[in-house]
Structure 1
Amino acid sequence: MPNGQEEAEYKQLYDAFLVLDVEGTCEHGSSFDYPNEIIEFPVCLMKWKDDKDRRELEVVDEFRSFVKPSWRPTLTKFCTELTGINQAQVDNAPSFTQVLESVFHFLVKHGLLDEKSRNPLSRFSWCSDGPYDVRDFVVKQCFISKIEIPTWLKGDVLDVNKMVTDWYISQNYQGKKMRAMLGRHPHRPSLNINNQLRVLGLPGFQGRNHSGIDDARNIARIVSECARRRMHLQPNTHIDPNRRWSWMGSYGQILLQN
């Protein structure tokens, strides 16, 4: 059993975790510089089974909505094949601003935000596989939708990919090699969701790859296992809500041909 000093080291400071894995519009060969619009916004809300012990996390509820794109409302064949999202699903979906309001009420329902002040009532962290979901997709979408990023979505995030990769490196390398790999080493391992499940000894991916809700559910499984292994769950990646790309004009203007 760990001693008192080790218990303090492993103390989990966050009350809840919001696992997010959005899907966005895309074209074959497009990169993260592309003005993607979010078309699926799924969240898995995780809380501690025993809030005092804080050893075991479980998914207590889910939120999922498709989102109607506005700049390029017609999905490409590549996008549909990649995500499994069809045109009818986005045509009949609410706008991004409407979806954010629904997410807000989801967080209010679970006691994470105050409905009137919109201030947090407990400590929660957004989680994603890599920084892209908030750092890129949400920041871009808020610009396109001509809205500010909500304060409850502005904070730094827990990059689960980075956390698991750092843990994997610490288990398989030593000394200078380990310290180098923990930085920006050219041969730093790259662990996708499938590989994270594998190195953590979990059963393989459940569901459909690149389905936002299925990706989020599998990331939640990873977060739960990390908690069980007593990894420190806390934000590890800075998010700049004012980040800009070359295609951004003013007032939500996209400087590319439609």
Structure 2
Amino acid sequence: MRYHQRTPRRVKPKKKLLPIAEPPRIPGVVQPFEAFLVLDVEGTCNQGTDFNYPNEIIELPVFLLQWKDRTEDGIACTLEVVDEFRTFVKPTWRPVLSDFCMELTGITQEQVDSAPRFSEALVSLEAFLVKHGLLEAETGKRQKRFCWCSDGPWDIRDFFVKQCFISKVEMPDWIRGDVLDVRFAVLQWKNTQTTSNTQAPVAHTNSGVVVRPSFNIPAQLKVLGFPAFEGRQHSGIDDTRNISKIVIELGRRGVLLLPNTTLYPNRRWRWMGKYGQVLEDGLS
């Protein structure tokens, strides 16, 4: 057997391994507000009534969100739920719920009959804010810069203003001020993601009132990539939980969370008579 001299193999230099690319991180932005109070109230209603009706609040849930990573310069991107507040509220002008209202909200007559009145619910909510250092116990003044958030402008702008009138309660200073309409914030963010060939819906003015395109909670969740609404729609606590998820995601995506809805505590409706009086003639 003949042996052939083997030619030495040329050893290729090893390639340097490049680091595995991580998903891009969205840089935090300067967020002026330290905390966010998300709420979605449920109110009395009859089939066919709209937001001009003298709705009384029957469920009042609030989620407190705070930044986990906010720097001294205010840069932040990670919000978390710190605590939840919830109470049913006993209506006084129309204490008996309509069948339509109970079917829509899932709230029973027994739940509101045994609930505190609105003035008492406000005291409990204020204690919740004091407990978490948002308000000073003695004076009720703000200790932190916080912002109220709701799906659409109606919950505080309409429901709270009407309820304070019906209950003869002055709207507390800690709930006055502009509100973050989460629905409109998501719509604005969505519009920034559209291509130049896509015409984005815009808000317009009708007789001095801003009209905003409809964009309900399930639609907001979908556009942000969440699977589906969790819980029962038109349940105040479940709506609030899902809205909180949306606010947290907006913060994570670097959206500047600022108020975008003006509150008018002295707003009047046709059915408003003397302080606390609902005029039946004004309902038509």
Range of TM-score over shorter length: over 0.9
CA distance in 2, matches of 1:110, 1:185: 39
Return the alpha-carbon distance in structure 1 between the equivalents of residues 144 and 197 of structure 2: 38
Once the two structures are superposed, the pairs formed by residues 16-165 of structure 1 within 5 Å of their partners are 16-52=35-71, 53-165=75-187
Q: Which residue of 2 aligns with 1:227?
A: 251
Aligned to 1:238: 262
Instruction: State the SS of the aligned residue for 1:182.
Output: coil
Paired residue for 2:241? 217
Is the Cα–Cα contact under 8 Å of residues 55 and 162 in structure 2 kept in the other structure?
A: yes
Count of equivalent residues: 252
2:21 match: none
TM-score of the aligned structures, taking structure 2 as reference length? 0.84
Q: Which runs of 5+ in 2 are unaligned?
A: 1-23
CA spacing shift, 1:188–1:211, aligned 2, 3 Å: closer
Summarize the Cα distance change of 1:114–1:157 in structure 2 as closer, same or farther, 3 Å threshold: same
- Describe the shift of the 1:242–1:49 C-alpha distance in structure 2 as closer, same or farther (beyond 3 A): same
C-alpha distance in 2, partners of 1:237/1:72? 29
CA–CA distance in 1 between the matches of 2:261 and 2:195?
Answer: 23
The runs of at least 4 consecutive aligned structure 1 residues that moved more than 2 Å come to 173-178, 185-190
Give how far 1:120 is off.
Answer: 0.2
Query: CA RMSD, aligned part only?
Result: 2.2
Whether 1:249 and 2:273 are equivalent positions in the alignment is yes
Q: Considering fraction of residues, name the structure with more helix.
A: 1
Answer yes or no: is the 8 Å Cα contact 2:40–2:155 preserved in 1: yes
Deviation of residue 182 (structure 1)? Answer: 3.2
- Name the SS of the counterpart of 2:279 in structure 1: coil
SS at match of 2:85: strand
Query: Secondary structure of 1:225's match?
Result: helix
Residue 51 (structure 1) shift: 2.5
Shift of 1:196: 0.2
- Unmatched runs of 5 consecutive residues or more in structure 1: none
8 Å CA contact 1:23, 1:212 repeated in 2: yes
Q: Give the TM-score normalised by the residue count of structure 1.
A: 0.92
Q: Do the aligned partners of 1:165 and 1:190 also contact (CA within 8 Å) in 2?
A: no
Question: In 2, distance between residues paired with 1:234 and 1:174?
Answer: 26
Query: Once the 2 structures are TM-superposed, how far is the Cα of residue 239 of structure 1 from its aligned partner?
Result: 0.7
